Amino acid sequence: MAEQEASGLQVLLRTLQSSSDKASILTILQVLGDLLSVGTDRRIHYMISKGGSEALLQTLVDTARTASPDYDILLPLFRLLAKVGLRDKKFGQKALELEALDVTLILTRKNLSHSHNLLHCLWVLRVFASSVTTGAMLGINGAMELLFKVITPYTRKHTQTIRAATEVLAALLKSKSNSRRAVNRGYVTSLLRLHQDWHSHDTFNTFVMIRRGLLLCLQHIATFRSGREAFLAAQGMETLFSITQNCLDNKGMEPVISVMLQILRQCYPESPLPLVTASSAYAFSVPGSIAAEPPPALSEEDFEDEGDEEVEKDSDSEDVKEEDDLETDVEKLSSKPGLDRPEEELMQYESMCLELSYSFEELESKSGDESNSEDSQYTNHHHIPIAASPKQHCLKKDQTSWGQEKEDTVQTSLLSTVKMGRSTVHLSSKKRPVMNIYHDMQSKGLGINSLGNDIPDIQTSPKEDAWDIEAISCPRMSAFFSNSTSPREAGEAIDKLLHIHPKHIPFHDPCLYMAKARRTRSVVDFKMVAFPDIWGHCPPPSAQSMLERKCGVQRIKILEDVQRFTQPSDVINKVIFSLDKPWPLQDTASSCLKFFSKFESGNLRKAIQVREFEYDLLINADVNSCQHQQWFYFKVSGMRADIPYRFNIINCEKPNSQFNYGMQPTLYSLKEALLGRPSWIRTGNEICYYKNHYRQRAAATGGASGKCYYTLTFVVTFPHDEDVCYLAYHYPYTYTALMTHLDLLGKSVNPRQVYFRQEVLCHTLGGNPCPLVTITAMPESSSTDHLEQFRHRPYQVITARVHPGESNASWVMKGTLEFLVSSDPVARLLRENFIFKIIPMLNPDGVINGNHRCSLRGEDLNRQWLSPQAHLQPTIYHAKGLLHYLCSIGRRPVVFCDFHGHSQKKNVFLYGCSVKETLWQAGCTVSASTLLEDVNYRTLPKILDKLAPAFTMSSCSFLVEKSRASTARVVVWREMGVSRSYTMESSYCGCNQGPYQGLQFGTSELEEMGAMFCLGLLILELKSISCSHQLLNQAATLLNAEDALDYHLQRRSSSSSNTSELDDEPACMEEIDYSTDSSMDQEGNFAELDRQIQECALNMDEEEEEEGAGRRTESIP
């Protein structure tokens, strides 16, 4: 049957080419038209494959070259050519070979006064012009000059033809040669005048598509430098800016507004960042390396070219964007390389595993009375990091015994929380309108702190005037420590402050923090400490909803940027803070804001006042680098309450951000903290993230555009006059906070029950100790059986914060650590059955110095796991060495997990490693008999998907990419043979599924995730074949008829499976596309052309029917 259809179609096409009979040709064209007007495009592609395009083009040439071309044949032929040509990728080349281009141009010239015939000619020219090659040829043959005879000033006649002409011209101008020709002949000015004329007369927006066509012509010309220069010279920026401002709120103008905005951004002159150098303001000389020369100053033509950022992958993300990146070499996927160091070197890690050799004789030597007297040294915080926890239990100075607090505290267990499900506090928060949470708190009463205790009002406190808010906000370390070694004298100043404004925060001690801060070593030797880090953070009482994006906000911000160019006199452009200039820049008498960032994890390089309440901010690149600008953390003061201040961070690097999808930056107010609300909260509105006009260039590229930058803009309305606030990309968590936290954790445990050992894995390049923590349960006694059980416990290895800007990973780690030392029954079971080796911060130097991604050498440490060197990447070298040591003594970890943060996706999810899934995704054939793989790598993420509200299985991936070959996840999987080797990613933003859907993550939710991860490890063990009967019995008792938890997990699983989860964010609804050739636009234009052709064909059929009826009427006698 198919052969008959093929032969029938071929017969029609051959007849069409050879026949000179008008009736036969018309009949064939009618049959082909009917055939292609129904069904899908498959029919058209089938016809193309049988030579349909060539047959139609040949018929066009033959018909047009007759002495008197017959338009009864040409018009349906033109419609068929346009329909088929849209789907034939080689249509332009075929037309060139058959000389159809010249024929069509000749017919167009002949029909300038016959609009109906001209319209059909233009449709075919539109298809020809879709190919750059044929478009260039049409330009050479005078097509543009011809089109300008059709495109007239405003008229109400032949508007369909004029619109078609503008669309043909726009398509032609995608050719560089045509655009250059248009510039040389002054068409830019002509197009601007035509657009102004149509815009001024088209008051009812009847001809928006003609105006859009003229703008598309300008947009394509502006793709090239000469076109932009001509546009600027013709005052195009001022013209379009004025038009856009006046019609921004007119929805009927949408097709025009979007193109005008693209032109304005496209033609905004590119410029270098307002920095003296692209490199970081901080430099560090790595021991043993040649000192780097000072970086050259930035200039317009001397910038580094990083390539096309539009195809650049998110460096934080492990998402697979291109299948070419998948590793398809089975040998590389399955091989287990040897040690990267001499085997004898591994013995140095024996001292880091003292739990395997320690005798624990003191367990028998101490009496109960003696142990009770020792217990008075320890304060056990039974704080379990659960987002649903109604209260925060915290360190009080009068608590003297872990046992006493245990009796006094009623703490909901983790299992109870899991069974109960989502906190009512958080559920209710979803119903609250989005507003400034500080104002929400104030409306409930200023005199109540986060724990519900009455406190004096800051405005009425008689001693409040004595405090210097500015001095308190970022105190010098020396202000709290004299030369005396007396702890009483050392903490006198801060104790006075704490006495007047008491606060209670779990595992936080301001005096201890200050002591630790003095020992933290930074590149530039920070002298100041940020107030939030000293004072501490209590999560706000409820989660915050994602910000609902206001329609049109991005366009407004872009127009305000353009206004700087069109009206430069309105711009203040005053530098008020800079790391590059040592002298003070801020005038104390000035009304502008004051900025500061020279403290741990701080990152603000420069602040420029643009308008009275608007500031451009530049964040510092990573030390010894000229890139990775994303993390920010800085102090701002001198504000007025209830005034919207706009902040523009203008040197961001990533092509997209969760700031476009509901995420807000975080803010900490000093006055709110002194009022008893020491909280980092999400803040800001009118938030958007978009490409700006700043570029990097390199002399080697000959001036070609290099790396683009992006602007994060947001508006903050501060809660108090003359407050001191801190703004950050995410909830900060400093290295000093970690060291303080670990000390307090160690003091909180009962040493006869919990084995908690903190030691130094190694020292960093900056001279800071990298902590290694071991947590397990003490053996019941020093008997042989108990010691044997103790020493044969499997290992779990967890690491975090290899990327300094991923502070969310530290909050998850905080939750893990606090849970593991807590009195929760699940934590006790975990300690009794596992030994946890935890490296909570793999990149202390980066965290301290405000880096986003790199070490002090300017390199990504999570790309150094293949061949780390002790003197260059010490933390990675020794972390890998410790893992090799555990494997060498037969103690391979059950699970290895590296905690990270993710900037472009929501929820929490895992990345793992699978040979089969990688090969299958890459399209390689995999033989199940020759390639065996344990599928248990999927078990833990499946458990977490059912267990943790923030976790989603749908975003997990188990593919191994070539570009990730040197990451911790892949190296530990390949070299150590740990099948459950994971990266756990936590969103900076929040959740779009499950109980937390529509909410941003707070620190409570992140800490909860850390605790849930631990519970997942226990359930993973319970599901394993090797699980001991003793653990199963203990777990059965603990779970109180295990079915209850199983039922809950099944319920969560079934409910979460119904949630539609988007792996990647959709395009922002008002995203500005700066590319010169959008395939989506092309598809849309072709669909519109199809519609016009179909509509025209129907109208002609109706006209023919009416004429036929009229003739029949006339023939009746």
Cβ neighbours of residue 557 closer than 8 Å, sequence gap 6 or more: 686, 688, 690, 711, 713
- Per-residue tokens: 65: 């070259």
- Interhelix angle 71-85/1079-1115, rounded to 10 degrees, is 150
DSSP 180: H
**φ/ψ of residue 120, rounded to 5:** -65, -40
- Per-residue tokens: 336: 């287990």
Burial class (CB in 10 A: 0-12, 13-18, 19+), 723: buried
Nearest to 221 by CA among 162, 154, 150, 144: 144
- Residues 787 and 358: their CA atoms lie apart, in Å, by 9
- Tabulate helix, strand, coil % of the chain (nearest 5): 45, 10, 40
Angle at 513 between CA 510 and CA 514, to 5 degrees: 90
Cβ neighbours of residue 382 closer than 8 Å, sequence gap 6 or more: 393, 405, 406, 409, 411, 822, 823
Nearest to 747 by CA among 470, 538, 507: 507
The β-bridge partners of 750 are none
Tell how strand 835-839 and strand 795-800 pair up.
parallel
**φ/ψ of residue 179, rounded to 5:** -65, -40
- Residues 612 and 62: their CA atoms lie apart, in Å, by 71
- Per-residue tokens: 89: 């990728």
- Per-residue tokens: 195: 């657009």
Sheet strands (E) in 1056-1105: none
- Residues 855 and 135: their CA atoms lie apart, in Å, by 51
Nearest to 868 by CA among 971, 981, 974: 971
Active-site hit among 600, 806, 985, 1021 = 985
909: helix, strand or coil:
strand
| Helices (H), ranges, 283-378 | 330-334, 362-365, 368-375
User: Is 985 labeled as catalytic in the residue annotation?
Assistant: yes
- Per-residue tokens: 486: 């007396």
917: helix, strand or coil:
helix
- Residues 262 and 690: their CA atoms lie apart, in Å, by 12
Task: Report the amino acid identity of residue 1106.
Answer: E
Residue 1012 Cα distances to 422, 747, 821, 837, 998, angstroms: 13, 24, 14, 18, 20
Burial class (CB in 10 A: 0-12, 13-18, 19+), 951: buried
- Residues 750 and 405: their CA atoms lie apart, in Å, by 12
- Per-residue tokens: 391: 């209260």
- Say if CB 164 and CB 108 are below 8 A apart: no
Residues annotated as part of the active site: 985
